[in-house]
Homo-oligomer: A and B are copies of this chain.
Amino acid sequence: MTYRAPLKDMLFDIRHLAGIDELAKLPAFEDAGFETAQAVLEECAKFNEEAVAPLNATGDREPSLWRDGQVHTTPGFKEAYRQYSEGGWQGLQHPTEVGGQGLPKTIGAACGEMLNSANLSFALCPLLTDGAIEALLTAGSDELRSTYLPRLVSGEWTGTMNLTEPQAGSDLALVRTRAEPQADGTYRIFGTKIFITYGEHDMADNIVHLVLARVTGAPEGVKGISLFVVPKFLVNADGTPGARNDVHCVSIEHKMGIKASPTAVLQYGDGTAAKDVNGTGPGAVGFLVGQENRGLEYMFIMMNAARYAVGVQGIAVAERSYQQAVAYARERVQSRPVDGSVPGSAPIIHHPDVRRMLMTMRAYTEGCRAMATVAAAAYDAAHHHPDAEARQQNQAFYEFMVPLVKGFSTEMSLEVTSLGVQVHGGMGFIEETGAAQHYRDAKILTIYEGTTAIQANDLVGRKTARDGGRTARAISAQIEQTEGALAAQGSPEARAVADRLFAARKAFLDVVDFVVARGKESPNAVFAGSVPYLMLAGNLVAGWQLARSLLVAQDLLRSGQDEAFMRAKIATARFYAEHILAKAPGLRDSIVEGADSVTALALDAF
């Protein structure tokens, strides 16, 4: 078994941190209590451990291949995708009205983590389909919804997001792909899109591209961008795939990691007669989503779902890297332990520095999982709570969490997968071992769906400065309550965690004040510290959730429940506080006192 889903930890978070049984009191989720969660997660674990995880190394060795416009995915992917689709996994979190199971994101996120741990490259296809579903649910016409949603939700068809062009990466104002309106209400799309994940593949009958383009005569900049559905095959009246549309994959990228995931360059309407659609002339036939010039707004719907999901990818790859490192550290015998606890050479897990590495990997992973699970519960409440104020509060909390889940969980995954290689020593650098793949795969996570800097801009601008720091301070107030509970609990572990949590929260508040006070007058100073602020905030929230975990674990320990697990949770929470949360005050100093030195070097001196 190359991967075993951390079911206990996931269910602990879902039950005790996210409060699934509270969520199940909402009308939308009345069947989605703890028992449902447990049943779904167990089934999901089985599928991913057995059918998907073994294909991870295969995908690295036999990446997707482009030949004459076709993409041939890694051997085994097509069959695994068929099982994924037939198992109903694509529809897990989507509404029952369109064929989904309507389960909360709180459960869906855990399933997403498993799929990503099993195979990051494979999981990207469903991840993008989820984004397409979200966009159509929110902004698609009835016709678009009825044509595409059932097939997307069932997994028969897959979806993509087409934002990037060679000159337009983080800066979507530079998008040039154009959409020419036609007499029949459709559009013809012309342009080149790059970095399109699963932009072409052989696992499904149709691919539904969601494409940003500029309608002829639209304003410059982001206010002139519209969103279109462009299917690979136009859809017949009976719902089956029909004529081939004029969108073609001209190449796929040769990447450092996630090699099985085809990253396509797509050409929309290359103007050759041979590519005419149904003999009606060149250009890919596109269908407007929502209204013209509101494309960016809709795209953000997809984007936000995708950002959260990429954060989960960070947790997922960290978990798998951790499991592999633990297995190696138990097996590999080398040197006598410094404390003399073993008389001769011992498995390296006995060496303190190996323990430090494994604990760091574990603590980051559990901390970020707890943060993501709580964020998911807020999303669920924000969408389904009967009380408007509760919806609004949960929405604000969730929106604050998205850049943290995306930014912090992916940044930590770089450190974790690096430690994963390090634990293996020289063997880690040899590709056959598999540890290096996680290190290479993870590096995309801090880049796509908005780099860490883009997440940090979002945190600084939309999530902190815009409401004058209100949401940030509300979160701080909640953390303060946890500090109080830790003090009341009074165990040495609780007190140690409370001290670090207090120091980290003070550091956070200083930075929030700095961002709010200086944002207008000194944007350079504030944005110079944006990524460190994100790292501090993510660190704090993950540490806070582990602190809550510690409180729960100490309670349950007293009632004699699963002693080994509870003790481990307590030890992990304390390690996190003393070795990861402890970084927060230093970050505060750099942000608040060191802003000017970031931009002091003359441009031509670099």
Contact = CB atoms under 8 A, between A and B. Distances in A.
Interface in A586-606: 586, 589-590, 593-594, 597-606
A170 interface: yes
B425 A447 contact: yes
Interface in A165-196: 167, 169-171, 173-174, 195
Interface string A237-276: 0000000000000000111110000000000000000000
Given A451-B425, A527-B353, A256 B440 contact: yes
A564 interface: yes
Contacts of A456: 353
A431 B356 contact: no
A439, A527, A578, A601 interface centre (most CB from chain B within 10 Å): A601
Contacts of A430: 253-256
B582 A594 contact: yes
A455 to B, nearest CB: 11
B195 A256 contact: no
A511 interface: no
Contacts of A476: none
A352 B432 CA distance: 40
Nearest to A256: B436
Given A429-B444, A431-B256, A439-B256, A353 B530 contact: yes
Given A339-B524, A452-B422, A579-B590, A352 B574 contact: no
Interface in A342-358: 345, 349-356, 358
Interface stretch (A11-19, A201-209, A553-561, A565-573): A565-573
A578 B590 contact: yes
A362 to B, nearest CB: 7
Interface string A417-430: 01001100110111
A585 interface: yes
Given A430-B253, A582-B594, A418 B443 contact: yes
Interface string A304-345: 000000000000000000000010011001110011000001
A349 B606 contact: yes
A575 B589 contact: no
Rank and list the top 9 A-B pairs by shortest CB-CB distance, nearest first: A578-B594, A568-B605, A256-B436, A353-B453, A338-B523, A352-B527, A352-B528, A171-B335, A575-B597
26 contacts: A169-B425, A253-B429, A255-B431, A256-B421, A256-B436, A350-B603, A352-B530, A354-B453, A355-B598, A355-B599, A355-B601, A359-B601, A362-B601, A421-B443, A422-B446, A422-B451, A425-B447, A425-B451, A426-B448, A565-B605, A567-B605, A572-B601, A575-B598, A578-B590, A584-B586, A585-B586
Interface of A: 164, 167, 169-171, 173-174, 195, 253-257, 326, 329-330, 333-335, 338-339, 345, 349-356, 358-359, 362, 414, 418, 421-422, 425-426, 428-432, 436, 439-440, 443-444, 446-448, 451-453, 456-457, 496, 523-524, 527-528, 530-532, 564-565, 567-568, 571-572, 574-575, 578-579, 582-586, 589-590, 593-594, 597-606
